[in-house]
Every structure is written in structure tokens, then in C-alpha cells.
Amino acid sequence: MMTDLLLLPGDGIGPEVTAQVRRVATKIAPELTIEERPFGGASFDQLGAPLTDETLAAAKAAKAVLMGAVGGPKWKDAPRDKRPEAGLLGLRTGMGVFANLRPAICFGPLANASSLKRELVEGLDFMIVRELTGGVYFGQPRGIEALPGGGRRGVDTQVYTTFEIERIARVAFELARGRRNKVASAEKSNVMETGLLWRQVVTDLHARDYADVELEHILADNAAMQIVKNPKQFDVMVTDNLFGDILSDAAAQLTGSLGMLPSAALGAPGTPGLYEPIHGSAPDIAGKGIANPLAAILSFEMALRWSLERPDLADTLFAAVNRALEGGARTPDLGGNMTTVEMADAVLAQL
Ligand code: NAD
Ligand code: IPM
Ligand code: MN
């Protein structure tokens, strides 16, 4: 029997928030089979590697994988390939999940929780499509080498092929067609060769297959500024792995907190998706029981929609989160004093 949902709690607040996903999943879809495995630093400590072959095999064999968060000070001096973050990168490439959907949705009741003015974020529904398995995260050569005359030299390489750019742009255009029909493509074509190729490939694909979608090219530094100046101008923004990482953390704050932003990482049709809150292991609050579980719960909502073929339940869960927030449910990151469990209780009470 194929497992429906593989939970990878990970480190720090990861286990705290995935435990709440399990409660929600058990209530809303009791028929789902759920499996759990150590991942990241926890897997390194128990099994000697942040991602074992068995865990990758289990991930590929599940219908959906939900990861909490990885990393933390405990593993900061581990060799790079043993670090929790390396496990996550290995999982993403191993599963082939190249398209990372990061929706920045400002729930009505949270319009005052953002550090931006209410009128700028109220009604915000903005989707960042981040390329997830290429770019500077994986390009070779990379490393730190000693220089003969003393000092050291660190190298990272940004690489993109037409194939990689075209397939992520296609995801963005397809998504836009089901939304407000607008794509902004963010790169640095003014200084980077990969940026120039990115702009050319997106332009060509647009002319060839998506001329009906409104396309804007925007330099990534300006995109960062526009996201905080006037975020509602955007519908779908497609960008590379590194810019997507940075721009999505900025976009998260528009929704009230980094603890609100879920994500779905998708690969070829028919393959399992990887669902993760975009936040990290939050070492500063780990163990205190006050992490906001909504990014993880909303990641499960995306799993219901994109991998588990239950868009009806996804709608139900989304509405329950909104009602819980309407009822005043707030963890400290949203200005309240609820615990992680109480926030999940508030959602469960609406299901
Ligand atoms: P972080 O996202 O863990 O935390 C940034 C800030 O946001 C912290 O103040 C934290 O308390 C707060 N925060 C994050 N999630 C929250 C939540 N659910 N509820 C309330 N507050 C929340 O980023 P960081 O501190 O830069 O990184 C810590 C570790 O996490 C690092 O090891 C990093 O590599 C790792 N990381 C992992 C992932 C992931 O697993 N997907 C993502 C980002 C960072
Ligand atoms: C994210 C994280 C990861 C990334 C790290 C932990 C590898 O910041 O998912 O946003 O940079 O992709
Ligand atoms: Mn990040």
C-alpha cells in the first residue's frame, strides 16, 4: 500500500508544527495513511546522514511529503554534505521537484498584523514561483580553496539551461491563466549571464505559447522594492532559486508573519509533491511551544490540493484557518499569546 503522506518533522520547531499537521490531517481526512521519518539534523544524529537512501525512497513512494524545518546551531560546524540543509537540497533534487509555489496570501483578519500598512496588504494574493533544483544552489564549481599567497577563495556558480528556465516559466504562465493572468519574471539580466538567458527564454516562450498572458520583466532588486511598496500589483512572480528564496521571505512578512507562508514543490505530473512551510527551524523559539503552525497546516492544505486529489478538503481547511483567525487566534508572531497547540485547536474547532 502506498503511503499517502510522509511526514519529515526535522529540527527545531519542525516537530512542533508537523505534530499539529498530523492532528489536522487525522481529523479532516482520517482515511489518509501517514508515515514519519527522521530528517535533517535529527536524521544525522540518529542515522549518520541528514537524508538516508531509505528516506528518499520513502519520499518517492509516497503521494505527498510534508517537511517541517531543518537546521540549527547544533550542526553549524558539520561538513557541508552532512548539514541538515544538504539533506533538504538532496530531497528536492532527489524528488525532482523543480517548481516551488510560495503563495503570499494575506488573510483578512491579519491585515493589521503585517508591518506594512493595512491598505497595502489587505486582499493580497500573490504567488511566487521559485525555481528549486538549479541555479547557484547546485552549480559547479563551488568550494573554498586556500590561495598560494595566503587568504582563501570561495566560489559558487550560477547555472541555468534553457530547459530549466522554460519548464519553470511554463508553470508560472499556466498558473497565471487560472488567476489574474499576469506574470512578472524577476532576474538580473543587467549583470548576470544566467539572467540574460532567463529573460530571452521567458520572452520566447511567452511569444510562442502564452501571448495571452500579460508578461513583465523586472530586475530582482527592483522586485524586492516593489514587493514592499505595492505588493498587490503582482499576480505570479517567477524567479530563480536564490532570488526566490529571498523574495519569498520578504513576501511572507506582508501576510503578517513568516509563520504564515506555506509552499508546494512540484515535479513531473504523477510524481509526489514536497510541501514545506518556508520558515526555518527558528532556534530562537524552538522548544517553547509558541511557533505558529499555520504555515505547516497550510502546506498540508496545498498537499490536499496538489497531490492528494482532495481540493474540496483543501477549501474546507483554508476556510477553517480563516475562521480561526477571524475568531482572534494569534500566536506571538501575530501579536497574540496562543501556544502552537492552542492555535491548532482553534483550527480544529472550525473543522
Ligand atoms: P527562521 O525561518 O528559522 O527564523 C527567522 C525568524 O522567524 C526567527 O525570529 C523565528 O523565530 C521566526 N519564525 C520562523 N518561523 C516561525 C513560526 N512558524 N512561528 C513564529 N515565528 C517564526 O530562519 P533563520 O533563523 O535564518 O534560520 C534558522 C535555521 O533554519 C538555519 O539553520 C536555516 O538554515 C534553517 N532554515 C531551514 C528552512 C527549511 O527547513 N525549509 C528554511 C529556512 C531556514
Ligand atoms: C527555504 C530555506 C532553504 C533554501 C534552506 C534551508 C536550504 O531557506 O526553503 O526557504 O534556501 O531553499
Ligand atoms: Mn528560505
137 is catalytic: yes
221 is catalytic: yes
* Angle, alpha carbons 71-39-259 (nearest 5°): 55
Choice among 212, 221, 312, 315 that is catalytic: 221
Atom of ligand 1 nearest to the CA of 85: 34
Choice among 11, 63, 160, 188 that is catalytic: 188
The finding on whether 245 has its CB within 6 A of some atom of ligand 2 is yes
pLDDT of residue 260: 96
Q: Under 8 Å CB-to-CB from 9, ≥6 apart: which residues? A: 15, 18, 19, 36, 38, 39, 42, 68
Atom of ligand 1 nearest to the CA of 71: 32
Choice among 4, 11, 240, 245 that is catalytic: 245
Q: Under 8 Å CB-to-CB from 186, ≥6 apart: which residues? A: 218, 219, 220, 223, 237, 238, 239, 243, 247
Closest CA to 15 of 245, 350, 287, 313: 287
Half-sphere exposure at residue 118, Cβ-oriented, CA atoms within 13 angstroms: 5
Question: Which residue from 279, 297, 337 has its CB within 8 A of the most atoms of ligand 1, so it is best to mutate?
Answer: 279
Tell me, in angstroms, the distance from the centre of ligand 1 to residue 114's CA.
18
At 2, the pLDDT band (50, 70, 90 cuts) reads: confident
Q: Which ligand is nearest to the CA of 284?
A: 1
- Provide Rg for the chain, Cα atoms: 20
The finding on whether 209 has its CB within 6 A of some atom of ligand 2 is no
The stretch 48-58 carries a mean pLDDT of 98
Domains of the chain and any CATH numbers: 1-98+267-351 (3.40.718.10), 100-259 (3.40.718.10)
Q: Under 8 Å CB-to-CB from 19, ≥6 apart: which residues? A: 9
Provide, rounded to the nearest whole percent, the portion of the chain with pLDDT above 70.
100
At 266, the pLDDT band (50, 70, 90 cuts) reads: very high
- pLDDT of 256 strictly over 90: yes
Alpha helices by DSSP H, listed for the chain, are 14-28, 41-47, 53-61, 84-95, 118-121, 162-177, 193-209, 220-229, 241-254, 294-306, 311-326, 340-348
**pLDDT tens column, 63-88:** 999 999 999 999 999 999 999 999 99
188 is catalytic: yes
pLDDT of residue 101: 98
Tell me, in angstroms, the distance from the centre of ligand 1 to residue 85's CA.
12
Atom of ligand 2 nearest to the CA of 241: 12
pLDDT of residue 1: 72
Q: Indicate yes or no: pTM above 0.95.
A: yes
> Cα–Cα distance between 111 and 125 in angstroms, integer?
12
Q: Quote the mean pLDDT of the chain.
A: 97
The finding on whether 11 has its CB within 6 A of some atom of ligand 1 is no
Pairing of strands 152-157, 264-266: unpaired
**pLDDT tens column, 217-252:** 999 999 999 999 999 999 999 999 999 999 999 999
> Cα–Cα distance between 307 and 300 in angstroms, integer?
10
Closest CA to 241 of 130, 93, 97, 158: 130
Q: Which ligand is nearest to the CA of 130?
A: 2
State the DSSP code for 236.
E
Q: Which ligand is nearest to the CA of 78?
A: 1
- pLDDT of 200 strictly over 90: yes
Phi, psi of 264 (to 5 degrees): -125, 130
Tell me, in angstroms, the distance from the centre of ligand 1 to residue 76's CA.
14
Tell me, in angstroms, the distance from the centre of ligand 2 to residue 246's CA.
9
State the DSSP code for 309.
S
Q: Which residues pair with 186 in a beta bridge?
A: 218, 239
At 317, the pLDDT band (50, 70, 90 cuts) reads: very high
Q: Which amino acid would we find at residue 9? A: P
Q: Which protein residue has the closest C-alpha to ligand 2 atom 11?
A: 245
**pLDDT tens column, 274-302:** 999 999 999 999 999 999 999 999 999 99
